[in-house]
Every structure is written in C-alpha cells, then in structure tokens.
C-alpha cells in the first residue's frame, strides 16, 4: 500500500521537500534484527514489525551546492514522540579527504531519495496501517557551500531532537548516496504496548 506523506517545509529554506510517499510492506517478527540484518530500535524480540519505505523528492532552491541534509520522519498520532532522522550525503572513496566533499545536490537541482525502515505494527493500541498517511517529513539540517567556498550550516530552529540522543546506522537505499538513519530516543523511557 502506497500513500502520500505530509510535508512540512520551514520558510525561508534552501531545500524543500516537494512530495513524499509512504509504502508499507509485509509484517514480520522482530528478533532485534530482521532477516536483512537491519537493527530495529525500540522493539522487543517476537514483536510484529513492518517494513516501511519512505520516498521523497527534494529541490535545492538556492544558488549553493548542498553537501548534506537530514530529514525528520514523525508520526505523532502513532509513534508519539519517537522520531527517525534520515541523513543523506555522497559516498566517498576510502582515500578521499574530508575536504573533498561531493555535492548531494547542485544549485536548482532536484533529487529523489528513499529510506526503508522497520516500524512496530502496533503501539498504544493503535495499528500502523491506520496511521500511514499521518507520517510527516521535515528538513532539519542542510550543509552547503557558501559564497566564501566554506561549508555553512542551516538548522531548523525547532530542532530539539539532538539533545535526546540517537542510535542508528547506514542503509543502502538511494543510489550513489550514503544514507544514514538515526532513531531519536523518546522523551520518556516508557514504551507503548
């Protein structure tokens, strides 16, 4: 099942998400990792989880090349205050210096990216499938090359997620991009059912 996701763009912003979709896969049982070796935070062994693919199109509205950006994926109606952050940058060769950053997007460029995550099938008596269209994507951080040929940073003013702590790792969903996923710890340690 594929449904549109909600998009929240701050203003003014260098990069906007123009469209986003959520695709739900089959239900599987969590064992801490899935058969594909993906870690599933905030789940217990034997809990039902579902593979959920997020696909979005972003547009660089600026005159600056973007080297990295991150997007928050939220669903307060289902996940409460649990948040997933997807970061995108270009893959680099092992011998490349950090200063040789490759651009994710050139000025006025568009990019389609995706990330596949594993999410609990049920939480607080609610079913994930009943809340697929409640997922919301929002740009959190943008790193770009400024006029002075230095790397500048834009960050959403409402971003308080970093202080809550994260766990995560890399996934290989977007061609030629290094895609990382961080799961932000909930504000409270108490988990739903």
Domain count, the chain: 1
| pLDDT score of 190 | 39
Domain range for 91 is 2-184
Residue 191 lies in a domain: no
Secondary structure (3-state) at 79? helix
Residue 190 lies in a domain: no
Q: How far is CA 85 from CA 64, 104, 114, 126, in A?
A: 23, 17, 12, 22
Instruction: Inform me whether the pLDDT recorded for 97 exceeds 50.
Output: no
Residue 102 lies in a domain: yes
Contacts (Cβ under 8 Å, ≥6 apart) of 18: 7, 57, 58, 59, 110
Which of 154, 180, 157, 159 is CA-nearest to residue 64? 154
Residue 88 lies in a domain: yes
The top-scoring range by mean pLDDT among 13-27, 41-55, 75-89 is 13-27
Of residues 90 and 47, which shows the higher confidence score? Answer: 47
> What is the phi-psi region of residue 26: left when phi exceeds 0, alpha when psi lies from -120 to 50, beta otherwise?
beta
- Local confidence band at 193 (pLDDT 50, 70, 90 cut-offs): very low
Q: What is the pTM of this model?
A: 0.82
- Local confidence band at 191 (pLDDT 50, 70, 90 cut-offs): very low
Residue 62 lies in a domain: yes
Instruction: Inform me whether the pLDDT recorded for 187 exceeds 90.
Output: no
Residue 192 lies in a domain: no
Could you give the percent of the chain with pLDDT greater than 90? 36
Over the chain, what HEC string results? CEEECEEECCCCCCEEEEEEEEEEEEEEECCCECCCCCECCCCCCCCEEEEEEEEEEEEECCCCCEEEEEEEEECHHHHCCCEEEEEEEECCCCCCCCCCCCCCECCCCEEEEEEEEEEECEECCEEHHHHHHHCEEEEEEEEEECCCCCEEEEECCCCCHHHHCEEEEEECCCCCEEEEEEEECCCCCCCCC
Residue 193 lies in a domain: no
Residue 11 lies in a domain: yes
pLDDT digits (tens, 9 = 90+) for 33-75: 555 555 566 677 788 889 899 999 999 999 999 988 999 999 9
């Amino acid at each position: 099942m594929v449904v549109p996701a909600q998009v929240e763009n701050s203003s003014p912003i260098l990069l906007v998400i123009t469209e986003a979709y959520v695709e739900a896969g089959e239900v599987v049982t969590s064992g801490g990792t899935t058969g594909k070796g993906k870690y599933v935070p905030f789940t217990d062994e034997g809990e039902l989880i579902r593979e959920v693919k997020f696909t979005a199109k972003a547009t660089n509205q600026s005159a600056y090349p973007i080297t990295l950006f991150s997007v928050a994926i939220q669903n307060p109606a289902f996940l409460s205050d649990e948040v997933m952050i997807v970061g995108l940058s270009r893959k680099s060769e092992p011998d490349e210096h950090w200063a040789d950053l490759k651009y994710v997007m050139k000025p006025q460029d568009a990019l389609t990216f995706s990330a596949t995550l594993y999410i609990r099938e049920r939480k607080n008596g609610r079913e994930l499938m009943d809340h697929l269209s409640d997922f919301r994507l929002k740009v959190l951080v943008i790193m770009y090359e400024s006029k002075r040929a230095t790397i500048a940073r834009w960050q959403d003013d409402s971003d308080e997620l970093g202080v809550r702590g994260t766990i995560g790792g890399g996934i290989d969903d977007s061609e030629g991009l290094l895609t990382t996923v961080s799961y932000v710890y909930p504000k409270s340690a108490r988990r739903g059912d």
